[in-house]
Amino acid sequence: MSKDFDAVVVGSGPNGLSAAIALQQQGLSVLVLEAKDTVGGGLRSAELTLPGFTHDICSAIHPMAAASPFFKSLPLHDHGLEYIHPTLPAAHPFDNGRAAVLFSSLAETAKALGADDQAYQDLIGPLTRDWPAIENDVLGPLTFPSHPLSLAKFGLKALQPATLLANHFKTPEARGLWAGMAAHSLQPLTNLTTAAIGLVLMIAGHLRGWPLPKGGSQKIADALASYFISLGGKIETSVEVKSLSQLPSARAVLLDVTPRQVLQIAGHKLSAIYTWQLQRYRYGMGVFKVDWALDGGIPFTAETCRHAGTIHIGNTFEEIQASEAAAGHGKHTDRPFVLLAQQSLFDPSRAPEGKHTAWAYCHVPNGSTLDRTEIIEKQIERFAPGFRERILSRHTFNTAQLENYNFNYIGGDINGGIIDIGQLFTRPALRRSPYRTSLKGLYICSSSTPPGGGVHGMCGYHAARRALKDVFHIA
């Protein structure tokens, strides 16, 4: 690392790689440093259970990757990325044997909700039509919007608690489907802004689908890295950065890490007020994750669930609301909301012929190390009797193990910090630009900056654009 670079990016998750690409595209010399022996951050895949079974270690299904304005601008297909679209994007089973479904078609989704047909179309329809005009504003820092009226219509709904927006629906099916979407916010559904992620996920499903990468989530990271290298960029792995003094000379440094690591790496060089703000940054609930090697597909009672890439397990709105409230307040529940993916149903490369994989997690209090394997499997068995009989092997991650695997998952928080109203626009600190630190030339490009968690690369892209303007005077 003796050579000087225009910019150094620490961390090779989707945001770090996106920042590096955005910088390298401008003809700069950019170095990416990764602590692990492979790139990817939350985009990694491995044989966690048995030989021949490929599991996504962190993220699995990628509606936001498919919807990302930055990713869509890149020739990632030319670098080996191929998306597979499940027959149905998502399904939500109930105790009565039925299931609500997020179809690719908005009209089909609405029709299947029966009495809530019109209510769904009235809520999601206008937002879906407006999304292409406002996606860059929603997936970025707080600035004057290019389409203020359309953004205002979205914001008035997105800033609401999911519990309030649920009042648009009357049927248990529509309310349950909505609860599962909103629960991706990783906070109690009574919190302001919990409607936002549910709306975005539904919109993305109707416009771009909920795809999975052929061969595993690692393929997204590999494609980003390959494209970056093709532009002349350089990546070094197995380099854990603990101090800025380790880095080669560079005009700009971008950190794909959360505030806790920023303080460890650069704390002595940061201003007192900025340090004070980072010390008060809040992390949200964690996750307990299980991967299975299976001797067949999951035998869901509801037939539609056997054709969906993602399954939201939690039954009614009220049950999911109670589950998320418990985890958000430091408690565990015997009936947690479970987010499940069954990639091998649509990507046979994930498992030996006739076998399958499954991926799932539930939300737990931040830092919890309580084993939730039995509870999660019991929840799945509830809607898929016979599931346990098909388990050949399993692998688990508690919050501490997840954080050890990916240093950004503080206490198992996969969003890089809670995205509530207090940290929606001011993550990680209240500043004119959220990507700038108090040290000239040092930026944060992780999911701890707007727009927050998710595999979309937009945090990295916007951080790079800020650095290009500030340091290199490139608009």
Q: Residues 203-228: pLDDT tens digits? A: 999 999 999 999 999 999 999 999 99
Nearest residue to 112 via CA among 122, 103, 125: 103
CA-CA distance, 460 to 295, in Å (whole number)?
A: 40
Q: What is the pLDDT of residues 344-359, one digit of tens each?
A: 999 999 999 999 999 9
DSSP 423: S
Average of per-residue pLDDT across 442-451 = 98
Give residue 262's pLDDT: 98
- The C-alpha angle with vertex 219 and arms to 407 and 453, in degrees rounded to 5, equals 45
% of the chain surpassing 90 pLDDT? 97
Query: pLDDT band at residue 307, thresholds of 50, 70 and 90?
Result: very high
Sequence-distant (6+) residues with CB within 8 A of 309 are 61, 85, 86, 88, 89, 90, 210, 211, 212, 341, 342, 343, 345, 346
Q: What is the pLDDT of residues 312-325, one digit of tens each?
A: 999 999 999 999 99
Nearest residue to 65 via CA among 45, 78, 81: 81
Q: Give me the helix-helix angle, 194-207 and 148-158, nearest 10°.
A: 120
Q: Is the dihedral of CA 319, 185, 216, 91 positive or negative?
A: positive
Give residue 3's pLDDT: 77
Nearest residue to 6 via CA among 231, 190, 199, 269: 231
Q: What is the pLDDT of residues 30-64, one digit of tens each?
A: 999 999 999 999 999 999 999 999 999 999 999 99
Query: pLDDT band at residue 142, thresholds of 50, 70 and 90?
Result: confident
CA-CA distance, 170 to 320, in Å (whole number)?
A: 16
Q: Which domains does the chain have, with CATH numbers?
A: 5-81+214-282+409-470 (3.50.50.60), 84-212+285-405 (3.90.660)
Where are any strands of DSSP class E within 275-417? Answer: 286-294, 308-313, 338-341, 356-364, 391-397
Give residue 267's pLDDT: 86
Nearest residue to 41 via CA among 261, 358, 232: 261
Average of per-residue pLDDT across 430-458 = 97
Average of per-residue pLDDT across 135-141 = 95
Six-digit token string for 283: 């992390």
Distances 110 to 37, 102, 183, 259, 475 between C-alpha atoms, Å: 46, 9, 20, 41, 43
Average of per-residue pLDDT across 146-166 = 96
**Over the chain, what is the mean pLDDT?**
97
Give residue 2's pLDDT: 52
% of the chain surpassing 70 pLDDT? 100
CA-CA distance, 76 to 393, in Å (whole number)?
A: 34
Give SS3 for 193.
coil
3-state helix/strand/coil string of 445-463: CCCCCCCCCCCCCHHHHHH
Give residue 434's pLDDT: 97
- Strands 234-236, 338-341: pairing kind: unpaired
Q: Is the pLDDT of residue 117 over 80?
A: yes
Q: What is the pLDDT of residues 386-437, one digit of tens each?
A: 999 999 999 999 999 999 999 999 999 999 999 999 998 889 999 999 999 9
CA-CA distance, 282 to 327, in Å (whole number)?
A: 15
Computed on alpha carbons and rounded to an integer, the radius of gyration of the chain in Å comes to 21
Nearest residue to 168 via CA among 181, 159, 157: 157
Q: Is the pLDDT of residue 69 over 70?
A: yes
On whether the pTM is more than 0.75, the answer is yes
Q: Answer for the pair 57, 44: CB distance below 8 angstroms, yes or no.
A: yes
